A and B are shown apart, each in its own frame.
Chain A
Amino acid sequence: MIKRTLKLFALFLILTYSLNSCQADNECETSAISHAKLDFYIIEDDKEKAVGVEGISIYGLGREDSLIYEIDTISYALLQLSPAADTVGFVFDYGSFSDTISFLYKTNKHFESIECGFIANFDIDTVKYSENAIDSVALIDKTITSEDEQEHVKIFFK
């Protein structure tokens, strides 16, 4: 009788194990990081025209040691804002001179998944800029999430 009871208990254990063993932890597969997408334009004959900027380096203001783009030719830039601050600046270094673009924004912590945890999304409030090579800036989409790949800011060069 005791033997049977033990057998029954063992069966319970095995069944419980089999029911739960499939719930293994998955690794986070998406690189969930929100980027602001800045597309580059020039105005030609009163029309905006996408443009590639040659020999440009971009880094965060105060982070000269960590270049996001290094002497590159690009027609857009993907830039990460900081969840720890409400404003960050980026330096557009053209070689002999530079521009600075600053973002004022709010951070929203967004729960992605158990595996990936939280990501930071942003609502852009204002964009400020210097006018050395930049003519003007237009804020197109204020909301930055990890899912969207669309244009947030248009930068018109002189």
Chain B
Amino acid sequence: MNKNMLRYFLSSILILATTFIYAQDNIEKTKGIRFGFDVSPLVVRLFEPERSGLGVSIDFEFKTDYFGVIEGGLLNYGLEQKNFNYQSSGYYGLFGLDYNLLKAEKSVDNNILFAGFRYGISSFQQNIDNIVINNYWGTYNAELGQQQITGSWFELLGGIKAEVFFAKNFFIGWTLRAKTLLSGTKNETMQPIYIPGYGKTDKKFRFGISWFVAYKIPFKQK
């Protein structure tokens, strides 16, 4: 296990512990459509200013313990290096399923511990300028201009969604994601450095974490 994976693993245990402590214990199980807001870009922006974005999600329990999930967002990634500027910005969408692993013991409340998968696609624009190449003949400046690119990837994920103690139908949670790129790296001039929704393309597999707050609009119980 490398250093990064260890960090993810430890933090996931920590978050798991904390979220369940703060989660409510006894509440009637309700069904409804849950609307989520991805807060990770806001938090990550403090430490990774080259990335900014917005993400939302919708999930619905169409069958006991099975949730259909749609996520989407827009993301802007800008990198200013000494010898080139890179910008990647665009939209992404994720479609998939979550399965609740906490069915038997915890069926009375709305907390779920889930495992699932997603298929992700992104359509984005890549812009490269201020390229500087120095050699014997002096300094050469160039730009590659804008390119429209699409990429797709697959995610296996797990996480929790817990109803908070102070507000009914209000959830917090996190999702740990293992991603692998399916397409989007083949490009005539250069492969994209960053695909919105996926991340940096320098590794075949990526791990990611996202935090969210969500509100469930409950269906009226008959």
Contact = CB atoms under 8 A, between A and B. Distances in A.
Interface of A: 1, 4-5, 8, 11-13, 15-23, 33, 60, 63, 66, 68, 79-85, 88, 109-111, 114-120
20 contacts: A5-B22, A11-B15, A12-B211, A13-B46, A16-B40, A16-B44, A16-B47, A17-B47, A20-B44, A22-B3, A82-B135, A82-B137, A83-B133, A84-B138, A109-B142, A117-B83, A117-B132, A118-B83, A118-B84, A119-B133
Could you say which of B8, B14, B15, B43 has the most chain A C-beta atoms within 10 Å of its C-beta?
B43
B136 A120 contact: no
B137 A19 contact: no
A83 B140 contact: yes
Contacts of A60: 136-137
A19 B136 contact: no
A105 B58 CA distance: 55
Interface residues of B, number: 39
Nearest to A15: B11
Contacts of B209: 19
Contacts of A115: 81
Contacts of B189: 109, 111
Nearest to A17: B47
A116 B38 CA distance: 33
B36 to A, nearest CB: 16
Interface in B118-165: 131-133, 135-138, 140, 142, 144, 165
